Structure 1
Amino acid sequence: MISGDICHTHANWQHRQVPPFNTDREESVRSMERLAALIDATRARFVVQHEPDDLAALPRFPAFLD
């Protein structure tokens, strides 16, 4: 599961921190909670899209897709 813009760092995710430019903090936190439940239910791997180490750990695209 790739985070997209639901969180930008591991700390945002762990502490349910919401950036000031989000328009609705409560809805953002509810979205995080829904995603956390989905991850738990499916045992999905969670990747924070904006964390370079998380992205580097993903399999590389085949060369023809780069």
Structure 2
Amino acid sequence: MSHTEDVEVGAAGIRLGQLLKYVNAVETGGEAKDLLAAGDVQVNGAVEQRRGAQLAAGDVVTVPGATYRLT
């Protein structure tokens, strides 16, 4: 079952790969790359495969088992 969690990222935002590590969805950049390559990450409902994609407050990131709402 998926849960939704608010994550505060501040005005500067955060890159997708950094967010995945910050919320413990992955432990390493390599794991983030694999998760993204598999198409298992969505940003605002669309599959996102770029580890460097810039995220900002208001974005919603979904990984298997969890959803993160950026604030």
TM-score (norm 2): 0.27
Q: TM-score, normalised to structure 1's length?
A: 0.28
Q: Which has the higher strand share?
A: 2
